[in-house]
């Protein structure tokens, strides 16, 4: 089984995670056979190791971590690679990959520009 983990920062605000969960729901709607879970770095549960461990226990043989960070700061550059290294060590028979942060994806940058232009055009 292949699984996607949407990985975000986390927040004390109990509503903060709703957009991340909405992305997971859209993935499920578009691809019902795709297993997708959300995980968080801090302040929100569950964390990445718990989600990865649960997916492996459910039979996942491949995990793709998608960092849901717009900016590529210390968490994406340092914390996440350390977590991925630890997961690979804990699950050597599982193919564990990590995409670039969403903020580095040209498709998202173009979409954000389109949204801003649409809002700018509506205000004029």
Q: Which residues are catalytic, by number?
A: 9
User: Distance between CA 56 and CA 58 in Å, rounded?
Assistant: 5
Paired residues of 66 in beta bridges: 6
3-state secondary structure of 67: strand
Residue with tokens 């459910």: 58
Residue with tokens 């795709």: 34
User: Distance between CA 94 and CA 78 in Å, rounded?
Assistant: 22
Q: Which of 72, 38, 70, 32 is nearest to 52 (CA)?
A: 38
């Amino acid at each position: 089984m292949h699984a996607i983990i949407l990985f975000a920062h986390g927040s004390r605000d109990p509503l903060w995670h709703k957009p991340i969960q909405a992305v997971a729901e859209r993935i499920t709607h578009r691809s019902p056979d795709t297993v997708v879970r959300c995980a968080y770095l801090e302040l929100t549960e569950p964390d990445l190791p718990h989600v990865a461990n649960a997916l492996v226990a459910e039979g996942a043989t491949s995990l793709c971590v998608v960092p849901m960070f717009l900016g590529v700061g210390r968490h994406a550059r340092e914390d996440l690679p350390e977590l991925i290294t630890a997961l690979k060590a804990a699950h050597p028979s599982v193919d564990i990959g990590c995409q670039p942060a969403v903020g580095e994806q040209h498709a998202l940058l173009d979409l954000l520009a389109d949204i801003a232009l649409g809002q700018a055009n509506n205000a004029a």
